[in-house]
Every structure is written in structure tokens, then in C-alpha cells.
Amino acid sequence: MLDLNHALEFEPRSYNAFFALGVTMEATERPQLALKAYEKALEFYPQMQKLQKRIEALLDQQTPQAL
């Protein structure tokens, strides 16, 4: 994760670094931080379908399901 933060210091508009950070946050069970990272990546690359799907999946997990 330090490498990702370091990459973002040099290139703060790197959607790839934000996406990777989101994946890392998901893997470490920090969905809110993952969502923030994905949303930041989406600002720089709104056409990235894989990114949009990850955001949708996280939002679905946060929404209580009706019985």
C-alpha cells in the first residue's frame, strides 16, 4: 500500500493507482475506503467499466436487502 501512496504522490491523477488502492481496501475489508478510492479513480477515467462494476458491487453490499 505504501507503493500506491507513493505513486499517487508523483501522479495524483493516476486512476490505476486509485483502482489498485480500492482493490487493496476491499481485500482488507475496508469497503468505505475502497469506495472512496474507486470514486476518485472514476473522476479520472469515467469510462472504465470494471471500476463502475466494483462501485456497484460495494453499494449493493451496503444496501440492506429486502426479504
Q: What's the confidence (pLDDT) of residue 64?
A: 74
Helix ranges, 11-48 (H): 15-27, 31-44
Helix (H, G, I), strand (E, B) or coil at 50: helix
Q: What's the confidence (pLDDT) of residue 22?
A: 96
Whether this prediction's pTM lies above 0.85 is answered by no
Tens-digit pLDDT profile for the chain (67 aa)? 668 778 888 888 899 999 999 999 999 999 999 999 999 999 999 999 999 999 999 999 988 765 5
Q: What's the confidence (pLDDT) of residue 8?
A: 84
Q: Residue 51 is placed in which grid cell?
A: 471500476
Q: What's the confidence (pLDDT) of residue 66?
A: 57
Domains of the chain (ranges plus CATH)? 2-62 (1.25.40.10)
